[in-house]
């Protein structure tokens, strides 16, 4: 079967869906290829954190744009997509990031006292030490609502098929070869998460994606769910882990908690070491007992996930191009989906690639932006 549309998007995770949505908004015809269920790979699960705090000042522009995008989606879809309860950060990330956030008129973030930490995070152990801040318009991303709304709004068929190869055509445009069809398009945007490096390789590009794995556990809240519950980014180290993050599930009856760092893969890189998973599970439960006594320290949900990180920064992302083929890669992309989707759609339709997205810009790396006032690497990989 031979099909065609203006643009093909490979992958119906949050980035591919946001890109397809932006393309349709711009009047393009779109085909989305997804080998599994939309929103079920790296984008799976019930919650993510939207935070403004980043080390690379260039990312503030991206999060501000995306925050506006999430609000626009909320209006359009008539659904809450980011909780109104903010993000509490503890530890050296506060010292590093709060001054930048306070300098920016478009971001509402402020230092808070330990007592106020407990107001926003009633699950936390008494009086956390050290610096704390509240990112007022950050919050928990309602991931399932976002995926469902985007899928429903697209009005384009999502082709349930695996893409095996992509190439540019000598006569112009690009060809997609999926399991049961060959299609021609003016451009192809590859948002295939853990599948992106392989498809890029087939098109002659070596992407420096570091493939790792992560485990995040959900714990029940003791007693009645609090009316308001912020997300947590903890780089304080005071609860026995160098870094951890947590975010409420819709309804606040459960809180998803993850530790900083990623998991070793077995040789071959296709599976995670089960012993490593058990060890992370035990450490996460121990962290919950120490830091979050408002939770029952017995997990009720697991989220195992690949992580596709760029080597220069945990929050880095970039776009590689081979003629009319675009490949996006990075980590912690959920929050950036609205702005990243717009940038990818613009480029696929012939606009300029945002200079921040060129791989040599090393977006996410504050050193590349000319500043290196990081206090240390103890808080590496606080995913959000």
Ligand X SMILES: Cc1cc2nc3c(=O)[nH]c(=O)nc-3n(C[C@H](O)[C@H](O)[C@H](O)COP(=O)(O)OP(=O)(O)OC[C@H]3O[C@@H](n4cnc5c(N)ncnc54)[C@H](O)[C@@H]3O)c2cc1C
Q: Which two tokens stand for residue 285?
A: 């439960």
Binding region for ligand X (CB under 6 A) out of 275-283, 327-335, 341-349, 354-362: 327-335
Query: What residues contact residue 329 under an 8 Å CB cut-off, 6+ apart?
Result: 196, 197, 207, 209, 308, 310, 317, 318, 320
Closer to ligand X at the Cβ: 41 or 254? 41
CA 41 vs CA 16, 34, 136, 212: distances in Å: 12, 11, 29, 13
Min CB(215)–ligand X separation in Å: 7
Q: Which of 87, 69, 83 is nearest to 14 (CA)?
A: 69
- Judged by CB under 6 A, the chain residues 8 through 47 that form the site for ligand X are 10-16, 33-36, 40-43
Residue number, 114 or 322, with CB nearest to ligand X: 322
Please state, as a whole number, how many other Cβ atoms lie within 10 Å of the Cβ of residue 271.
10
**Residue 107 CB: number of other CB atoms within 10 A?**
19
Contact call for residue 163 and ligand X (CB under 6 A) = yes
- Least Å distance, CB 179 to ligand X, is 9
- Residue 117 or 328: the one with the smaller Cβ distance to ligand X is 328
Classify strands 254-259 and 244-248 as parallel, antiparallel or unpaired: antiparallel
* Smallest distance from ligand X to CB 194, Å: 6
Q: Which of 305, 326, 345, 363 binds ligand X (CB under 6 A)?
A: 305
383 binds ligand X (CB under 6 A): yes
| Minimum separation from the CB atom of position 58 to ligand X (A) | 16
Is 376 strand, coil or helix?
A: coil
Q: Could you tell me the smallest distance in angstroms from the CB atom of residue 327 to ligand X? A: 11
Region of residue 268 (left: phi > 0; alpha: psi -120 to 50; beta: else): left
Strands 109-111 and 132-135: antiparallel
Q: How many CB atoms lie within 10 A of CB 344?
A: 29
Least distance (Å) from ligand X to the CB of residue 39? 7
Pick the closer one to ligand X by CB: 28 or 41. 41
* Least distance from ligand X to the Cβ atom of residue 127, Å: 26
Segment lying near ligand X (by CB under 6 A), choices 59-67, 292-300, 303-311, 370-378: 303-311
Give the contacts of 39 (CB within 8 A, at least 6 positions apart).
12, 13, 14, 17, 143, 144, 147, 151
To ligand X, the closest distance from the beta carbon of 10 in angstroms equals 5
Site string for ligand X, 332-351 (x = CB under 6 A): xxxx----------------
Residue (43 or 183) nearer to ligand X, CB? 43
Question: Which residues, including other chains, have CB under 8 Å from residue 344's CB and lie 6 or more apart?
Answer: 15, 19, 22, 189, 191, 319, 326, 328
Contact positions with ligand X (CB under 6 A) in 229-288 = 258
Looking at residue 243, the DSSP 8-state letter turns out to be -
If one asks whether residue 325 binds ligand X (CB under 6 A), the answer comes out as no
Per CB under 6 A, which of residues 177..206 are in contact with ligand X? 191-193, 195, 199
SS3 breakdown of the chain: % helix, strand, coil, rounded to 5? 30, 30, 40
- If the CB atoms of residues 216 and 347 are measured against ligand X, the closer one turns out to be 216
Instruction: Quote the least distance from Cβ 253 to ligand X, whole Å.
Output: 19
DSSP state of 221: B
The nearer residue to ligand X, 261 or 297, going by C-beta atoms, is 261
Residue whose CB is less far from ligand X, 64 or 303? 303
Shortest CA distance to 30 belongs to which of 57, 8, 62?
A: 8
Out of 303, 322, 346, 358, name the contact with ligand X by CB under 6 A. 303
- List residues binding ligand X (CB under 6 A): 10-16, 33-36, 40-43, 48-49, 162-163, 191-193, 195, 199, 214, 216, 258, 303, 305, 307, 331-335, 383-384
């Amino acid at each position: 079967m031979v099909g065609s549309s203006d643009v093909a998007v490979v992958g119906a995770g949050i980035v591919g869906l946001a890109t397809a949505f932006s393309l349709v908004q711009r009047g393009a015809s779109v085909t989305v290829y997804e080998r599994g269920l939309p929103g079920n790979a790296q984008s799976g699960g019930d919650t993510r954190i939207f935070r403004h705090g980043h080390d690379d000042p260039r990312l503030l522009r991206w999060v501000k744009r995306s925050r506006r995008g999430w609000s626009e989606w909320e209006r359009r879809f008539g659904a809450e997509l980011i909780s109104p309860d903010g993000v509490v950060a503890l530890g050296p990330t506060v010292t590093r990031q709060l001054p930048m956030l306070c300098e920016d008129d478009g971001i509402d973030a402020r230092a808070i006292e330990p007592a106020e930490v407990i107001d926003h995070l009633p699950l936390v152990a008494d009086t956390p030490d050290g610096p704390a801040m509240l990112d007022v318009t950050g919050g928990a991303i309602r991931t399932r609502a976002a995926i469902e709304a985007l899928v429903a709004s697209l009005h384009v068929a999502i082709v349930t098929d695996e893409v095996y190869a992509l190439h540019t055509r000598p006569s112009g445009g690009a060809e997609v070869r999926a399991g049961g069809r060959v299609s021609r398009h003016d451009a192809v945007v590859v948002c295939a998460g853990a599948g992106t490096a392989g498809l890029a390789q087939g098109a002659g590009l070596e992407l420096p994606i570091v493939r790792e794995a992560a485990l995040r556990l959900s714990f029940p809240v003791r007693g009645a769910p609090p009316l308001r519950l912020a997300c947590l980014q903890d780089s304080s180290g005071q609860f026995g882990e160098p870094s951890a993050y947590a975010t409420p599930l819709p309804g606040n009856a459960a809180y998803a908690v993850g530790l900083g760092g990623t998991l070793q893969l077995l040789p071959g890189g296709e599976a995670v070491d089960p012993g490593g998973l058990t060890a992370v599970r035990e450490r996460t439960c121990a962290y919950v007992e120490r830091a979050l006594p408002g939770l029952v320290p017995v997990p009720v949900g697991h989220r195992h996930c690949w992580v596709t990180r760029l080597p220069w920064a945990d929050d880095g992302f970039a776009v590689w191009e081979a003629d009319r083929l675009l490949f996006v890669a990075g980590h912690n992309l959920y929050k950036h989906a609205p702005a990243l989707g717009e940038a990818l759609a613009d480029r696929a339709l012939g606009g300029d690639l945002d200079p921040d997205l060129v791989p040599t810009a090393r977006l996410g790396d504050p050193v590349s932006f000319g500043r290196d006032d990081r206090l240390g690497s103890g808080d590496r990989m606080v995913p959000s």
